[in-house]
Amino acid sequence: MASTLISNHPVTNSERTRDSKKKKKKKINNSTNQNSLSQSRNRWKSEREQQIYSSKLLQALQQVRLSPSPASTSAPRGGRAVREAADRVLAVTAKGRTRWSRAILTNRLKLKFMKHKRQRVSAAAAGNIRSSKKPRVSILRLKGKNFPALRRKVRVLGRLVPGCKKEPLPVILEEATDYISALEMQIRAMTALTNLLSRATTSAPPPS
Amino acid sequence: MSGRRSRSRQSSAVSRITDDQINDLVSKLQQLLPEIRDRCSDKVSAARVLQETCNYIRSLHREVDDLSERLSELLATTDTAQAAIIRNLLMQ
């Protein structure tokens, strides 16, 4: 069973690389924001992406289930572990092209090596505070649109999207559009998976 | 003082991101939000779009959390053979 899965993967991967190369050529020709945004939305809506995500998610969930040790402190409850695995697989499927996907992947590494990274992260944060004043000034310069209420909303939105706490407004908007499409695909895939699993458990009686 | 001036020069380069571009991004975001898209398709204020975006992302997060809980419960009851069968079904 596992061998069929491994043999199927290279097929989808090669298809994906061929299509992504065609898309990259199109991107170079019309290098405007519009195309990249609409392409990202179409990408997350395609059936293939959802299938790729579903299969990767299933693999990751298998690993989560096979090590349900109560001794591990990083995955205290099953639901939380599933959520983290689903987010990680989503970030991997995004191929690291967006900030939120990179932030998800690096956050997991940070959590793993929390003790060592704490000193490094605090030093980096101190450096970032000085450099983050630049984007904040750019938001002030944007004419007319930026009453404090708007700025507050943008900050809240920046906190919701992973990895965008200190980014300027247009970056946050762009990341949010891609993040929303990705989340919708994640929900579609997980719903389908849940339906399949529940049907499987009801139709086939569990071994006693 | 000179630091602030040089920073303002740099930020003016960043603020070349025009209002039109921002409007474009906001309208794209607007098209994604089911609330605004279905009800009122004319121009809504940017604040409304941002508010709806935050609400929508929060509701999506809640939904993912719910699905994760259900999935974890379901996975606890099925075994590996069934999961492999499902994987094959998915790869069709």
pLDDT in tens, B19-28: 788 888 888 8
Residues 4-23 of A with CB under 8 A from B: 4-5, 8
Residue A95 pLDDT grade (very low, low, confident, very high; cuts 50, 70, 90): confident
ipTM rounded to 2 decimals: 0.73
Give dist(CA A155, CA A132) in Å, integer. 13
Determine the straight-line distance between the first and last CA of chain B, rounded to whole angstroms.
65
Quick one: pLDDT at residue B16? 66
Mean pLDDT of chain A: 68
* Residue A205: pLDDT over 70: no
Chain A interface, best mutation among B4, B9, B68, B79, by max A CB count within 10 A: B68
Give the pLDDT score at A67.
Answer: 57
Distances (CA, A) of B92 to A45, A47, A57, A62: 18, 11, 16, 19
In this predicted structure, what is the pLDDT of residue A120?
54
Is pLDDT of A130 > 70?
Answer: no
Q: What is the pLDDT of residue A24?
A: 55
The answer, for A111 touching chain B at a CB cutoff of 8 Å, is no
On the question of pLDDT at A110 being above 50, the answer is yes
Residue B80 CB partners (closer than 8 Å, separation 6+): A62
The C-alpha atoms of residue A17 and residue A7 are separated, in whole angstroms, by: 17
CA distances from A185 to A25, A176, A191, B25, B84 (A): 25, 14, 10, 21, 22
How many Å lie between the alpha carbon of B2 and the closest alpha carbon of chain A?
Answer: 14
Q: Determine the pLDDT at residue A136.
A: 41
Alpha-carbon distance of B92 to A94, in angstroms, equals 22
How far CA B22 is from CA of A196, B16, B57, in Å, comes to 42, 11, 20
Residues in chain A with CB shorter than 8 Å from the CB of B17 are 138, 142, 168, 170
Q: Look-up: residue for tokens 């930020």? A: B11
Residue A54 belongs to what H/E stretch?
Answer: helix A47-66
Residue whose entry in the numeric block shows the structure tokens 């025009």: B18
Angle between helices A169-203 and A47-66 (to 10 degrees): 70
Residue A184 corresponds to which tokens in the numbers above? 């919708």
Measure the CA–CA gap between B31 and B33, rounded to whole angstroms.
6
Q: Bigger pLDDT: A114 or B33?
A: B33
Per residue in A5-50, pLDDT tens? 444 444 444 555 555 555 555 545 444 455 666 677 777 888 888 8
Output the CA torsion sign for B89, A182, A90, B79.
negative
Per cent of chain A over pLDDT 90 is: 0
A to B CB pairs, distance under 8 Å: 181
Which of A18-32, A71-85, A191-205 shows the lowest mean pLDDT across its residues? A18-32
CB of A95 closer than 8 Å to CB of A89? no
Q: What is the pLDDT of residue A138?
A: 41
pLDDT (tens, 9 = 90+) of chain B, 92 residues, equals 555 554 444 444 445 667 788 888 888 888 888 877 777 767 778 888 888 889 999 999 999 999 888 888 877 776 656 666 777 777 76
- Better pLDDT: A98 or A37: A98
Q: What string of DSSP letters covers B12-29?
A: HHHTTS-HHHHHHHHHHH
A189 to chain B, closest Cα gap in Å: 10
